[in-house]
Structure 1
Amino acid sequence: MTQQIRQIRLGTRRSKLAIAQSTLVADALRNLGHEVELVPISTTGDVDKVSPVEQIGGTGIYVSALRDALLAGEIDIAVHSLKDLPTAPVDGLVIGAIPVREDPRDVLVARDGLTLGELPRGAVIGTGAPRRSAQIEALGLGLECTGIRGNVDTRIGLVADGKVDAVVLARAGLARLGRLDEVTETLDPIQMLPSPGQAALAVECRADATDVLAALAPLEDPATRAAVTAERQLLATLEAGCTAPVGALAEVVEGDDGPELWLRGALGQEDGVRRLSANGPVDDPAGLGRALANELLERT
């Protein structure tokens, strides 16, 4: 039986999505017999909802305040969207658990129930991600991408108000908010590779908190950990942040000699998007991510 901790203080951003994600982790821990208190914390990305991400700090704007609170002992764990975490480790902190991943694909929410292929040439698609813009432009559909920021309500509201024809969002966020009925198309990874780590949650804690690490252990999903490790290593090897035009998706699949890891990567360039894939052993996901990144670099 899991040893019970008197109370686990869980730090979370204040957005609806962050609270929904944190509640999933809190409920899982409560089901194991732990008491959990949610501690809302404001991050740079939550305070400034207008400026482009790259202008207010880029990678890490949604996590630095949570990490500061962890290191200060104000909270015991923090729940992050893994795609928001910088790839560089932080002294004193570890990712104690990566639970089972939600569907990592992107989705379209468009006016009049349209799909990407049905939008007329010149239609405006709102997205704050260069990765999405690069891949949409590479499809050659004549669609125009414009930068947007804000929470799910704000972004979908731009479609309802007629300010854009469509927005592209992560399917996982809408699933966790119970809003999948607003999706007009789920985008195939052949068209749109997601952000490295998209749809996965990272539960971070202090490296020396052995009791917390033991409490988190049952939440860990090894297949998800392997997949996102490969994706994030690809990102790190490309020396890119979360605002760079990099897409990646890894999956554990059944190979000829047992389970193996299949990784697809995309890198946006001025002349288009480079796409490559590779497979490798499940027990060396970082090696697979590094190898595919190096191959992408050689092809640029």
Structure 2
Amino acid sequence: MRTIIVGTRQSALALTQTGQAVEKLQQLADSFGIECRFEIKKIVTKGDRILDVTLSKVGGKGLFVKEIEQALLDGDIDMAVHSMKDMPFELPEGLIVGAVPEREDPRDALITRGPRSLDELPQGALVGTSSLRRASQLQHARPDLRIESVRGNIDSRLRKLDEDNFDAILLASAGIHRMGWQDRISAYLPPEVCLPAVGQGALCIECRADDSFMLELLGKFQHEPTALAVRAERAFLGRLNGGCQVPLGAYASVSEGSSGPDAPLLTLTGMVGTPDGKTMLKETATGSDPEALGLLIADKLIAQGADRILADVRE
């Protein structure tokens, strides 16, 4: 009987989604006769400690995963449950993505005080988000809106909407779904209006590359269509050297190709915009190779000046 120590952030959402993943893994282990039990270890990350500035000003990559990955490398934990959108493109040597489970709803959600859609928000409404990606697309769609940074966990951001002077806030619908708070959602923003972050809605189960026991177990948790879509999105992310601090988004969907289920086709849309939303670069293409598709979309945007936009934002 192996005891598997699972590392996670300590927010309510992180603990909830980790608990849900552990429950499914325990069921899989039991069904395959794999003897193991799980214990959850809470770890505080840099992104959790610094809440008084926007993510774009904190700097660095892996703000919500570095300390957890170090615990993996040190052997203090055996696996980690991350939100895929928090994962940098490059993983530390010795670590690997052991599984990408089936994706939750990838869309962004609008939570408002009264109006039920983006179009219904009053002129000059105050909207809270700490994401430059969301702010850029929101300003592109509604230049009249006022955007103000709001950081913190889902529950604290919802509380700020209720208690402060925001007219609306934007959150990832996946987290709200996992918490069971769907009734708070006023409207879902389609990708045509607000393209999700890379990997949004998906989880990343990370482990050590030499842990054959964990790799065997996690392999049974893999959802291949989600994994393919995320590979395309992350190839786009890597080519643009992106992260959660820049106005960049991508979303891939998977459908069966002409040869059937063994030849899936991916459709990937990628975007890069200026923080004020005045410039919005967006491209879509279809292909069967996720990495090649991600690079193709990134290179098309680079040809239009995406690398210069991102360089300006980083400076």
Shift of 1:115: 1.4
Number of the residue aligned with 1:154: 156
User: CA RMSD of the aligned region, Å?
Assistant: 1.3
Q: Distance in 1 between matches of 2:116 and 2:90?
A: 40
Tell me which of 58, 61, 73 is aligned to 1:59: 61
Tell me which of 279, 297, 300 is aligned to 2:302: 297
2:22 is equivalent to residue 26 of structure 1? yes
Number of the residue aligned with 1:16: 12
Shift of 1:141: 4.9
Number of the residue aligned with 1:268: 273
2:283 is equivalent to residue 287 of structure 1? no
Once superposed, which parts of structure 1, at least 4 consecutive aligned residues long, lie more than 2 Å away?
Answer: 54-59, 254-259
Shift of 1:144: 1.3
Number of the residue aligned with 1:134: 136
Answer yes or no: is the 8 Å Cα contact 2:59–2:245 preserved in 1.
no
Shift of 1:82: 0.5
Shift of 1:287: 0.8
Q: Distance in 2 between matches of 1:54 and 1:188?
A: 24
* Aligned-partner residue type, residue 30 of structure 1: Q
Task: Give secondary structure in 1 for the equivalent of 2:219.
Answer: helix
Shift of 1:113: 4.2
After TM superposition, the structure 1 = structure 2 runs for residues 169-180 of structure 1, keeping only pairs within 5 Å, are 169-180=171-182
Q: Percent identity?
A: 40
Answer yes or no: is the 8 Å Cα contact 2:267–2:285 preserved in 1.
yes
After TM superposition, the structure 1 = structure 2 runs for residues 84-103 of structure 1, keeping only pairs within 5 Å, are 84-103=86-105
Q: Distance in 2 between matches of 1:164 and 1:59?
A: 29
Q: Distance in 2 between matches of 1:106 and 1:179?
A: 14
Answer yes or no: is the 8 Å Cα contact 1:249–1:263 preserved in 2.
yes
* Aligned-partner residue type, residue 21 of structure 1: Q
Shift of 1:255: 4.0
Provide, for residues 55-106 of structure 1, a one-character-per-residue CA deviation record: whole Å limited to 9, x for no partner: 3334211101100100000000001001001101210000000000001000
Shift of 1:140: 3.4
Q: Distance in 1 between matches of 2:255 and 2:280?
A: 25
Q: Tell me, which stretches of 5 or more residues in structure 2 are unaligned?
A: 31-35, 306-315
Q: Distance in 2 between matches of 1:167 and 1:58?
A: 25
* Aligned-partner residue type, residue 22 of structure 1: T
Answer yes or no: is the 8 Å Cα contact 1:58–1:242 preserved in 2.
no
Task: Give secondary structure in 1 for the equivalent of 2:243.
Answer: coil
Tell me which of 40, 43, 46 is aligned to 2:42: 40
Answer yes or no: is the 8 Å Cα contact 1:124–1:166 preserved in 2.
yes
* Aligned-partner residue type, residue 20 of structure 1: T
Provide, for residues 21-58 of structure 1, a one-character-per-residue CA deviation record: whole Å limited to 9, x for no partner: 11111101211223110011111111222222233334
Answer yes or no: is the 8 Å Cα contact 1:50–1:150 preserved in 2.
no
Q: Distance in 1 between matches of 2:222 and 2:197?
A: 21
Which range is displaced more, 261-270 or 245-254?
A: 261-270
Q: Distance in 2 between matches of 1:136 and 1:35?
A: 45
TM-score scaled by structure 1? 0.95
After TM superposition, the structure 1 = structure 2 runs for residues 132-211 of structure 1, keeping only pairs within 5 Å, are 132-211=134-213
Task: Give secondary structure in 2 for the equivalent of 1:239.
Answer: coil
Number of the residue aligned with 1:222: 224
Aligned residues, how many?
A: 294
Q: Distance in 2 between matches of 1:82 and 1:226?
A: 13
Answer yes or no: is the 8 Å Cα contact 2:55–2:131 preserved in 1.
no
Q: Distance in 2 between matches of 1:57 and 1:122?
A: 30
Q: Distance in 2 between matches of 1:142 and 1:17?
A: 32
Q: Distance in 1 between matches of 2:222 and 2:259?
A: 25
Which range is displaced more, 155-164 or 191-200?
A: 155-164
TM-score scaled by structure 2? 0.90
Shift of 1:109: 0.3
Provide, for residues 197-243 of structure 1, a one-character-per-residue CA deviation record: whole Å limited to 9, x for no partner: 00100000011001111111110011111101111111111122221
Q: Distance in 1 between matches of 2:9 and 2:246?
A: 23
Q: Distance in 2 between matches of 1:57 and 1:8?
A: 33
Q: Distance in 2 between matches of 1:26 and 1:231?
A: 26
Q: Tell me, which stretches of 5 or more residues in structure 1 are unaligned?
A: none
